[in-house]
Structure 1
Amino acid sequence: MTAASDHAPFKRKEEKPIMKHRNSILVATLVVAATALPSMAQQSSGMQDMPMQNMPMHNMPMKDMMQSANAEGVGVVQAVNPDQGTITVKHQAIESIHWPAMTMTFKAAKPELLKGVEVGEHIRFGLHTQGMHGTVTWIKPVSP
């Protein structure tokens, strides 16, 4: 053996480009996120029409917010959407469930509850609540 053969350059194995795999993983992650986000947003839209930026919640007991209850409210109809089965009411405080006065959109328990209800009408209504979500169970017009 000669000295030259002892120091012959060795051949490296060709390595696969790591960046190629990282980019594939990144693209796959972005695709999954882009497809999942719209459905997640749609599921959580129950309170989207509820202006809560000025809603004082600091004194609201958390255990009371999470329990289900039946309650009565008084308010003025702001919108009625029979196609979606919803009614928006600017209601007074509902003390029995520790809700301050606010404007909320509620689901109607039955679509026929919304028949004949008009925007601007003063109403008394029954609610079945679960946390900060309520379902209107009955509606009666009242004098302003």
Structure 2
Amino acid sequence: MTLYHGSKDIVEYPEIRKARFNKDFYFGFYCTNIEKQAERWATRYGEKRYINRYEYTENTELKILRFEKMTEEWLDFIISCRSGQAHQYDIVEGPMADDTIYNYLQNYLDGKISRSAFWELVKFKYPTHQISFHTVSALDTLEFAGSEVVYGEKK
């Protein structure tokens, strides 16, 4: 399967980096199988950026968690990860809480909307995909296949 990673750099050797903010599936190296989504990731700040391409070969010996769609379990997992709670999975795959969905999620966490209101708001969002790699063994399933330059528009 081909995966994409949007970045300011060519990333031939992916790494897991701790960031200032917790991500949907906690700290990891994030990719998508949707090339346009990787382009949005890469170009959100304008300037010259890159879409890195990888060939992913699943290793069935790894601990993998998949969410086929947004579910209660998916929501609870994201809330836990974004709250700073680590998990024991090598790879996690599923829909992405993009900026809009994240705003709904934050409103839910802050008590501004109910859980049912959250689900009502997100049901019309376009499909997204992310797959995150959380261990060195997980990163070993990726083989760099090249990159291409993309340019974002300054906002």
Give the TM-score taking structure 2 as reference length.
Answer: 0.21
Higher relative contact order, chain-length normalized (CA < 8 Å, sep 6+): 2
Give the TM-score taking structure 1 as reference length.
Answer: 0.22
Whichever structure has more strand as a proportion of its residues is 1
Q: For the pair shown, which has the larger CA radius of gyration, 1 or 2?
A: 1
